[in-house]
Structure 1
Amino acid sequence: MKGKTDNIYIKSALKKLVQDYPKLLEHKVEEPYKLHLNILEYSKRTKFLLELAGGTSYLNFFIKNYDKYYSFYKSIPAEKPVIIILDNDDGFNTIINTIKDIKITLAYLSQIEVKP
């Protein structure tokens, strides 16, 4: 998310769609909602460590070069997916085309859901 209010809009949208996406958000009695996801907050650290600072060019670079630059990090394989939410602007097609070019994701391409 690059805009200052993007995270607020995403959280607000999830609250309205809690019935449709119960795995992402849970209605609680003691708290209004409990998110079952983390939303990345860009910082100097994310830029330094991950080359992520917001915007399509950073995200595109990260996706294209993930295997090349990050394969030397040893970690437990991820148990949960990464969800990328894009604005419907010029950058959208750039990211989708990058994802289509990565051979390992071809098996999952049919699972990409584009919603207006």
Structure 2
Amino acid sequence: MSEINGVTVLSVYGEIDAASLSSLGAHLQDIIDEGRPFLIDCTDSHFRSDVALSILSTLAARANRLGIIWALAAADSTIRLLELLEFGTKIAVFNSPSEAAAFVSASSTERPST
């Protein structure tokens, strides 16, 4: 994991399929448990399974429930797939990690403190 402008970044490489989901799920669980804003950088990866989309949907619901701001950076082909499946209403998706980090950072600072 790394950071961009104070936002935790989980970079994912290669194919996201049933074989890689347990590892990805464990990393996502760790990030969610921290409760800090984050982004997932999938610009160098490809979704090869509907299970990968399912984990994103579950992640979005859990982060929303916990009030955690996050975004996804993805390649154009992945963005098109997410748009077709109407994931844009659940997940903030961007073409680059820097755009996603800017969104997460701005959205985190706009939230009123509780």
TM-score, with structure 1 as normaliser: 0.28
Q: Which has the higher contact order (CA 8 A, sep 6+)?
A: 2
Larger proportion of strand: 2
TM-score, with structure 2 as normaliser: 0.28
